[in-house]
Amino acid sequence: MEKELTGSYECSQNTQGIRFHIYGRKHIEETALHQMYQAARLPVSVAGALMPDAHGGYGLPIGGVLATRNAVIPYGVGVDIGCRMALSIYDLKGVELKQKTGFFERILEEQTLFGSGQQFERPSDHAVMEHPLFSELPFLRHLHSKAWKQLGSSGSGNHFVEFGKVQITATDPVLGMPPGEWLGVLSHSGSRALGANIAQQYTKIAIATRRINDNTKHLSWLYLNEEAGASYWAAMNLAGDYSAACHEVIHKKIARQLGRKPVVTVQNHHNFAWKELINGEELIVHRKGATPAGENVLGIIPGSMTAPGYIVKGQAVATALHSASHGAGRQMSRSQANQSITRSSMKLLLKQAGVTLLGGGVDEAPQAYKNLEDVMACQTDLVRILGSFQPVIVRMDGQKIT
């Protein structure tokens, strides 16, 4: 059916499907293509695109971008609502990471917290915890305490905080950082238990309300003029603000230990939905594991724990719905990685790359991911590369690799 898919594809089943552009077809597994094919047939779908890092998920595939009319799909956003990349660049040279390795390791070990369900004994203060929605939406009230205790923490899986070398390669007024090598702090995490509970709550409502085919029930939507749709939209935005606050807390703690402020910060959400003008019409654009790449919009596309990622600027390509990949994308599921990758082989790759891993499992090993260079080659028209980030000291959930 999709074997010869290239460029755009028009699908139909009962209703005429929308056309969506596929970037890097040869790098995308059939599961992701099939999920995007299903999303293209929804009656609320207007436009779509599939990024070159795409792989299977629930509802929309990871790397799927979908524009809908007056409708939001909770699993088109995803469970980790507002999952975010944040990079702080300092006027320090990257070589210091090797000269003072112990100092930087201690900062990550003492100032970050990882793991599903993990909470701080002494939580940080932030204005987001005073958001009125915590009182206005009854089901959010019981989530407030845990959200506060998890503020500034990171989950499991592919979430990380890293020290690394930033190489700025292009002079750009939007980025505002001169060419050269600098020290950077890069973090990737989302809205923790708050986002997960919001996703689960409203997905149940959407499934019960729409009652679509069981095979596509995770694509169930809520209309924004419905009470549930309006409530989800407000809760989703709160989760996005909370995710941003988590990164702010992480980076402030690290900056305090470094004794200086960053010169430049670059941040972007994925796993979110935005109201955007598409061909003169306001639509809801879902980016599940996709980076916003509007004109002059800065973003981070990471590689793996050993491979460099990129600082990019969007080029506002319409066929991509102003989007780009959110990373290299998985080429192995977590179970496949656990079964086929050994800790000794991962340790060897870390040594070859000169990377210290303070915590992480083989399910996040470099071998589990696609080659980011291949992915970037499929989206040269979507983003302009301004620089790179090479991980040097990485902390994730899991045991330290020694």
pLDDT value, residue 245: 98
**DSSP strand pairing (45-55 vs 62-68):** antiparallel
Considering its fold, how many domains does the chain have in total? 1
Give the CATH number for residue 198: 3.90.1860.10
pLDDT value, residue 196: 97
Residue 339 placed within a domain: yes
Residue 400 placed within a domain: no
Residue 1 placed within a domain: no
Residue 46 placed within a domain: yes
- Spatial neighbors of 100 by CB under 8 A, at least 6 apart, are none
pLDDT value, residue 140: 96
Residue 375 placed within a domain: yes
Host domain of residue 168: 8-395
How far, in Å, are 185, 258, 264, 395 from residue 261 at the CA level? 12, 8, 9, 21
Residue 74 placed within a domain: yes
Residue 2 placed within a domain: no
Q: Which residue has the tokens 């094919």?
A: 37
Residue 315 placed within a domain: yes
pLDDT value, residue 214: 76
Cα-Cα-Cα-Cα dihedral sign, residues 180, 311, 152, 115: negative
pLDDT value, residue 402: 62
pLDDT value, residue 4: 31
Average pLDDT, 10 consecutive residues per value, the chain (402 residues): 34 62 95 95 96 94 97 97 98 94 97 94 95 95 96 95 97 96 98 97 95 86 97 98 98 98 97 96 97 98 96 98 97 94 95 95 94 97 98 90 66
pLDDT value, residue 1: 30
